[in-house]
């Protein structure tokens, strides 16, 4: 093993990797900040409504999905907790929103970083979004019945 | 309103994230590059080859897969770079990692929203495995 060559590969490669990531992360963070400061989020109820309708959840549950989708799961969870505290989301909403967000969140940052190391950006993005939408759609139909059953059993038990 | 502060904050966030990433990526990159020049990576590759073959991936791709799921995707990125993977392999691996990653941290976050997480966890792992199998077949 040629130690000098290995160390050289480590240092050069390490710096190259960081640089490659920095030139993506900086512009992305500025764009996200612009979206936040222009309050573009408050103007997108036309985007959250179709989401809510597709998954058959309350209108308020659409916003955590959009927040998490763009800014990441931590922000999404923050929005979920906020909506839940306001009483705007029921248990079924919680499951549906969580299902979607675990599969698909922070799409710009994650997707672009993996594309930077050599993944096909269209395939990873489309496949992930499609998988999340398909699974969440199925779950949203399934949880409805399941939840109803659970509630009956619970009230029966209580009664 | 877009002010100077918007750009300053964006730049600050960018610097913060780049720094956090650097702290993660540099050590992992060093470690994997070093391992690549030792027989260890060969053992790992050989041991995991049968499982990884399901996804059309070489055995050493198990390293980013495990790092990404246990720790976070940045560790996975750091491990992907020094391994000599093809574009198809990186695409498969990335899709699997995007669906399932940071399982400890993110599952804790899910739990905070007030749900039971066992099903969600299985769903993530299951969808990642299915994605790997399907992409290997179709790409």
ipTM summary value: 0.85
In a domain, A118, yes or no: yes
What is the rounded distance in angstroms from the CA atom of residue A6 to the CA atom of residue B37?
A: 8
> Using CB atoms and an 8 Å cut-off, which of residues 39-68 of chain A contact chain B?
none
Distances (CA, A) of A67 to A11, A41, A52, A71, B85: 37, 8, 13, 6, 33
Rg over CA atoms, chain A: 21
Closest chain B residue to the Cα of A92, Cα to Cα: B115
CB A20 within 8 A of CB A112: no
**Predicted local confidence at residue A147, as pLDDT:** 54
Distances (CA, A) of B112 to A62, A67, B70: 19, 17, 19
In a domain, A83, yes or no: yes
CB A95 within 8 A of CB A131: no
Structural domain span for residue A140: 39-151
Query: A13 CB near a chain B CB, below 8 Å?
Result: yes
What tens digit of pLDDT does each residue of B63-121 get?
Answer: 999 999 998 898 899 999 999 899 999 999 999 999 999 998 889 888 888 888 999 99
**pLDDT of B5 over the 70 cut:** yes
**Predicted local confidence at residue A156, as pLDDT:** 38
Does A124 contact B25 at a Cβ distance shorter than 8 Å? no
The tens-digit pLDDT sequence of chain A (159 residues) is 688 888 888 888 888 888 888 888 888 888 888 888 888 777 777 888 888 999 999 888 888 898 889 888 877 888 888 777 777 788 888 899 999 999 999 998 889 999 999 999 999 999 999 999 999 999 998 876 455 444 443 333 333
In a domain, A128, yes or no: yes
Does A32 contact B90 at a Cβ distance shorter than 8 Å? no
Does A13 contact B33 at a Cβ distance shorter than 8 Å? yes
- The beta-carbon neighbor of B2 closest among A10, A34, A127 is A34
């Amino acid at each position: 093993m040629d130690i000098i060559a290995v160390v050289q590969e480590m240092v050069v490669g390490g710096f190259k990797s960081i640089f490659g990531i920095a030139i993506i992360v900086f512009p992305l963070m500025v764009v996200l900040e612009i979206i936040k400061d222009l309050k573009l989020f408050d103007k997108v109820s036309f985007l959250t409504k179709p989401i809510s309708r597709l998954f058959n959840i309350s209108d308020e549950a659409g916003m955590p999905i959009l927040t998490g989708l763009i800014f990441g799961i931590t922000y999404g969870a923050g929005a979920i907790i906020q909506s839940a505290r306001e009483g705007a989301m029921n248990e079924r909403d919680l499951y549906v929103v969580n299902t979607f967000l675990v599969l698909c969140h922070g799409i710009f940052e994650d997707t672009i970083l993996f594309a930077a190391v050599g993944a096909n950006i269209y395939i990873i993005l489309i496949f992930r979004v499609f998988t999340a939408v398909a699974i969440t759609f199925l779950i949203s139909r399934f949880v409805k019945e399941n939840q109803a059953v659970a509630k009956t059993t619970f009230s029966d038990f209580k009664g | 309103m877009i002010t100077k502060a918007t750009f300053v904050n964006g730049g600050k966030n960018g610097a913060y994230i780049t720094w956090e990433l650097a702290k993660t990526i540099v050590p992992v990159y060093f470690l994997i590059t070093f391992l690549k020049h030792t027989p260890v990576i060969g053992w790992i590759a050989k041991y995991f080859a049968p499982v990884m073959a399901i996804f059309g991936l070489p055995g050493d791709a198990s390293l980013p897969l495990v790092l990404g799921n246990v720790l976070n995707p940045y560790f996975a990125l750091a491990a992907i770079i020094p391994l000599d993977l093809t574009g198809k392999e990186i695409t498969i691996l990335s899709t699997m990692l995007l669906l399932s990653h940071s399982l400890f941290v993110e599952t804790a976050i899910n739990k905070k929203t007030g749900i039971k997480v066992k099903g969600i966890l299985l769903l993530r792992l299951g969808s990642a495995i299915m994605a790997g199998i399907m992409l290997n077949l179709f790409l």
